[in-house]
């Protein structure tokens, strides 16, 4: 892996230098390394705080922007299939929260509703601002990405209705309502969206909005290969996964 990092950063080809640097950044972001530090044999570029690595990954979002909302399930039907809020119902819920620019897409699997809904926004600055605002709404309410990671159940249970992290009860009416958790979809969330959405989205950097980032392009390609888990767990296989350097087909050897 070190050989591939060195190769992409130090490419001698003027025609493909920008491409190589984009791939270098993409690989470093995936691995949680410092892409701004020139790589050398000391491998100091691999030292980056967890917070900085997370910030780099969260900067790369799906485009057009979308917010992933969890806990939109409502229960089981008589035939055992999972049921949840549909698109129209979610559109209404989001409007009631003060966000009218998004369009809902509830996700379904073999056993019915997955308890997840995508809120898609327009692919422009206005859409990005609205998506960020919705994500910030959940985060400020302590119902963002990290909160969902803490409270999400392994599987649906009838006892979910008694879980105050998942369901709130109106003190006056006694009505039970699901508590939504949501966050801005990043490149790392590709496995959480449906196949059709994966085909249609690209990756953009929030910091460098619409800057034609080559790193964003290569991240999209790598995530679509479904190799992210292997990237993180078996870094020495990366060269084989991407066929060596995906730009010039050279297969660098680690020193």
pLDDT of residue 120: 98
Pairing status of strand 60-63 against strand 176-178:
unpaired
pLDDT of residue 178: 93
CA 66/CA 184 separation, integer angstroms: 6
pLDDT of residue 175: 87
**Domain definitions of the chain by residue range:** 2-60+206-241, 66-184
pLDDT of residue 235: 41
The arrangement of secondary structure in 66-184, i.e. its CATH architecture, is 2-Layer Sandwich (3.30)
pLDDT of residue 58: 83
Which DSSP helix (H) or strand (E) runs through 28? helix 17-31
* pLDDT, tens digit only, all 255 positions of the chain: 788 888 778 877 777 777 777 777 777 877 788 878 888 888 888 888 888 877 877 888 899 999 999 999 998 888 989 999 999 999 999 999 999 889 999 999 999 999 999 999 999 989 999 999 999 999 999 999 999 999 998 877 778 888 999 999 888 888 889 999 999 999 889 889 999 998 898 888 777 665 545 555 556 655 555 544 444 443 433 443 444 565 566 655 555
Question: What pTM does this model have?
Answer: 0.75
CA 106/CA 85 separation, integer angstroms: 7
pLDDT of residue 40: 86
Per the CB < 8 A criterion, the answer to whether 74 and 85 are in contact is yes
- Give the distance between the most distant pair of CA atoms in the chain: 71
Determine the length of the chain: 255
pLDDT of residue 96: 93
């Amino acid at each position: 892996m070190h050989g591939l990092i060195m190769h992409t950063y130090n490419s001698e080809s003027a025609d493909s230098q920008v491409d190589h640097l984009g791939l270098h950044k993409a690989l470093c972001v995936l691995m949680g390394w410092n892409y701004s530090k020139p790589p050398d044999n000391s491998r100091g570029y691999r030292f980056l705080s967890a917070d900085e690595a997370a910030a780099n990954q969260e900067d790369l979002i799906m485009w057009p922007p979308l917010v992933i909302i969890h806990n939109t399930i409502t229960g089981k039907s008589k035939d055992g299939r999972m049921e949840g809020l549909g698109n129209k119902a979610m559109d209404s819920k989001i409007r009631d929260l003060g966000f009218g620019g998004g369009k809902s897409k509830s996700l379904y699997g073999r056993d019915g509703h997955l308890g997840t809904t995508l809120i898609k926004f327009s692919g422009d600055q206005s859409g990005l601002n609205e998506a960020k605002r919705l994500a910030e709404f959940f985060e400020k309410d302590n119902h963002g990405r990290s909160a969902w990671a803490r409270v999400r159940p392994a599987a649906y249970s009838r006892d979910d209705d008694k879980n105050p992290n998942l369901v709130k009860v109106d003190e006056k009416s006694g009505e039970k309502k699901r508590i939504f958790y949501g966050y801005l979809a990043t490149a790392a969330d590709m496995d959480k969206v449906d196949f059709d959405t994966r085909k249609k989205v690209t990756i953009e950097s929030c910091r460098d909005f619409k800057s034609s980032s080559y790193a964003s392009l290569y991240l999209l390609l790598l995530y679509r290969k479904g190799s992210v888990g292997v990237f993180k767990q078996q870094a020495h296989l990366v060269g084989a996964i991407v066929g060596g350097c995906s730009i010039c087909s050279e297969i660098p050897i680690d020193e």
